[in-house]
Chains A and B, each alone.
Chain A
């Protein structure tokens, strides 16, 4: 009978542990299964690694159990019942709150969960073994307490089982990865498309989508979907969508980097014929340290080009311009939206945008090919000044691949913004929503604010949690954003008190009325507020959306 009770206690703790592992796996996944990053997240708040309610319930329960007596040698059910109740109350899962990015049950995640569950089970078995071996008094109270302590340990250590599971799976995952990469290599060898690589701290996905839509007007072009920009993401795209599609002539591979060498590895899989560097900026600076390191990582995409390859650079960014000036490869094209075609430096960028006009209907500008002296008027429904650069980079590739400027201008009229990047829509109640939820960065936020400023009919509400992952520059950049925001927004809601402090300081350093500034805890509070307080003709800008780990 004693054994049955002990097994029930163990089972409740194990079930709770398994569920906790399952929930933790979501954060582990967001941190890309990198244990150091996950640990940093875990220990940044006490409640994450030492959850209040389970521990509290356990401690209170233990004290309570201490006063309920059981005579050694006699059998009493009470300690067991108490410990079953403690376990159940402790492991009962709390409400998870807002989930922006749900857990994706990939094959890898499934394998990892399997391993972690198995380890938790193994640990439980170990507890039983210890109970037999260790010199524990056989009294019911001690037996129950032993299982209770073991159970809470099992539960608290859920992240350990997860990370150990990951280590356990490492050899298998390595094998699966190599097989997956090999498969993608084989697909590419058969389809043999022209490969265009795009990298940059920001603007990658938008440029990729523009290029795909424009080039598709002449050549069948496939681009990695969404923001797939890791080695595995690119492999997935190739294996899922390119296998057996012999019609693809151009493949656009978006290459992101969190560490040096990452782009190089992607270029080994997808060796580019054409490489585009959009921007070098403080994105993910906390992982790179300095902007120079960021630039060095991005330059890997140029180094991967063959001598006869083509490289395209955004001349307006000093770090990218420096890459252009380095002189590799022979065939290089630079583009600029900041230079004037009347006043060009020596050896000027090839494509220049001038007379840039932004209205609520979109962008228009004149593009000049300084090599042929041809000009063409470009009109596009896409908004955001920074998109002029993205368009110029796109134009450079298209013209090089045989499209005329006129053709390019025709296609520009039907371009669409990429998902969650300055996408505008009007709600049924007449409120204009500008969604710029993806990776706000120092260049993009200015564009987005200017677009907000174009709406002059009513209130202009900015909702933002600020910018992150900018390393040393984060505080200063957010402060600047705060100052700038007051020029374009009539009302501001900051999401998350802690990380928006510099933003708030920036806002308050201007004469912006504090009545129009609010700080809320999460996005849904902000949405509730605008639903109650805005009316037809007003505009909301959602600037950046942070992952669940912030």
Chain B
């Protein structure tokens, strides 16, 4: 029996985030990529308002419309249990007299949730509690790369070139807008980008070409986040993306791509919904037309950055490059890139199924590393506390006898 047992992968998609709909697409691309002779896929869908479901119909994207499930036939409520013994889902958790809850063991978790509550370390925290191997960045790496301000600081520390920036908080903006405007004017000229510190997929980001747009742009960003980042726009550069996959010392990079819509900045729809398979058919050049030297440099930087933010699993790193002056700036790390950058890996001679296969292996490797840590360290603290009486009012004399 167990010799031929398939690996059970729980793919989580949807999520309480503005990128909910995109995640449904990514989730289904991942589920379709698995080799069904080796894997059994369990779909786990989190609705826009945060309800969790599982069930076979969720595997079919036809059952979704406008970011909703069209029918709940065969779909059951489920939660991912933080109790390590469950090692998976509790299906139908609030069972009553006539229904039964059951445990659905999951061998590996594969999050496909973009942005908030998915890419920011919160979901990963639940995975850690559940003690189940999972694909992608761990709690710290996810939380870090989700925050543009902190990411810049960490990258700078590691000598990875990033654009200058100024950041401030929403309350600073509300209380002293003039002083912030002055700081920005002194800092760098137009055009500039105003961004919320977190969130991906260009949401809340505005390019500001002159003073008239600066205030509304900051207001927009302040609606999405408590912390706001402003950086100069690179006008004479091109965007270059590189996907990285790995764990520990085993890290590989994909071919580089140059998305062509750079000159006009990617609108949200443009970034994801052109064509039917995410970014695949957006206009792009693969491999990016860069000198071997620059290509090599970007790939090396990618590996360096991957390690700097405690990377694992997969990431797509976006750069701003000025080929003429040989300048490269790391712009962003996407720990849950749209479509997992399948289109880049295909050009790197890795099939979709090879990519998900590799990611599951990496998840197990990372989990094995966690298992190597010790969690049992015997102390006599409880005995001491018990001897003292928990309130510690008296009985310190009793301690000696408990040693």
Contact = CB atoms under 8 A, between A and B. Distances in A.
B364 interface: yes
A247 B1 contact: no
Contact of B3 (A191, A220, A249, A308): A308
Interface stretch (B40-48, B85-93, B163-171, B239-247): B85-93
B126 to A, nearest CB: 15
Contact of A246 (B3, B4, B87): B87
B307 interface: no
Interface in A297-320: 306, 308-309
B3 A309 contact: yes
A366 interface: no
A192 interface: yes
A447 interface: no
A11 B259 CA distance: 99
Nearest to B130: A247
User: What bracket does the count of chain B residues touching chain A fall in?
Assistant: 10 to 19
Contacts of A249: 107
Nearest to A195: B2
B78 to A, nearest CB: 14
Contacts of A271: 1
A260 interface: no
Contacts of B87: 220, 245-247
A192 B103 contact: no
Contact of B85 (A218, A244, A309, A411): A244
Contacts of B85: 244-247
A219 B371 CA distance: 8
Interface in A198-241: 216-220
Interface in B18-64: none
B3 A247 contact: no
B84 interface: yes
Contacts of B367: 218
Given A246-B103, A247-B85, A192 B5 contact: yes
B371 A193 contact: no
Given A217-B371, A246-B88, A273 B3 contact: yes
A192 B1 contact: yes
A218 B371 contact: yes
A219 B131 CA distance: 11
A217 B372 contact: yes
A410 interface: yes
Contacts of B368: 217-218, 403, 407
A218 B5 contact: no
A439 B84 CA distance: 36
Interface string A236-275: 0000000011110100000000000000000000010100
A284 interface: no
B3 A306 contact: yes
A193 B372 CA distance: 21
A194 B372 contact: no
A241 B251 CA distance: 39
B131 A247 contact: yes
Contacts of A192: 1-2, 5, 105
Interface string A381-418: 00000000000000000000011000100110000000
A402 B365 CA distance: 10
Interface string B1-22: 1111100000000000000000
A273 B2 contact: yes
Contacts of B131: 247
Contacts of A218: 364, 367-368, 371
A253 to B, nearest CB: 12
Nearest to A411: B372
Interface in A169-214: 191-195
A514 B2 CA distance: 59
A407 B87 CA distance: 25
Interface in B140-165: none
A216 B371 contact: yes
Interface string B313-347: 00000000000000000000000000000000000
Q: Which among A218, A308, A407 has the greatest number of chain B C-beta atoms within 10 A?
A: A218
A194 B2 CA distance: 5
Nearest to A245: B85
Contacts of B88: 246
A126 B5 CA distance: 62
A211 to B, nearest CB: 15
Nearest to B364: A218
A411 B103 CA distance: 32
With most chain A CB atoms within 10 A of its CB, the pick from B1, B3, B88, B368 is B3
A490 B152 CA distance: 70
Interface hub of B2, B85, B86 (most chain A Cβ within 10 A) = B2
Given A192-B5, A193-B2, A273-B3, A246 B371 contact: no
Interface string B71-108: 00000000000001111100000000000000101010
Nearest to A247: B87
B90 to A, nearest CB: 10
Contacts of B364: 218, 402
Interface string B290-328: 000000000000000000000000000000000000000
A411 B5 CA distance: 27
B403 to A, nearest CB: 16
Nearest to B365: A218
Contacts of B5: 192, 194
A410 B374 CA distance: 13
Interface in B89-135: 103, 105, 107, 131
B105 A246 contact: yes
Nearest to A191: B105
A247 B84 contact: yes
Nearest to A305: B3
A306 B364 CA distance: 27
A244 B101 CA distance: 13
B77 to A, nearest CB: 19
A273 B2 CA distance: 7
A271 B367 CA distance: 28
A98 B253 CA distance: 70
B200 to A, nearest CB: 33
Contacts of A219: 371
Contacts of A309: 3
B221 to A, nearest CB: 43
A219 to B, nearest CB: 8
A486 B223 CA distance: 86
A331 B364 CA distance: 25
Contacts of A273: 1-3
Nearest to B3: A273
12 contacts: A192-B5, A192-B105, A194-B3, A217-B371, A217-B372, A220-B87, A245-B87, A246-B105, A247-B85, A402-B364, A407-B368, A410-B372
- Going nearest first, the 9 A-B pairs with the smallest beta carbon separation are A247-B87, A218-B368, A194-B2, A246-B87, A246-B105, A245-B85, A273-B3, A273-B2, A246-B103
Interface of B: 1-5, 84-88, 103, 105, 107, 131, 364, 367-368, 371-372
Given A191-B105, A194-B5, A217-B368, 12 more contacts: A192-B5, A194-B2, A194-B3, A217-B371, A217-B372, A218-B367, A218-B368, A246-B87, A247-B87, A247-B131, A271-B1, A273-B2
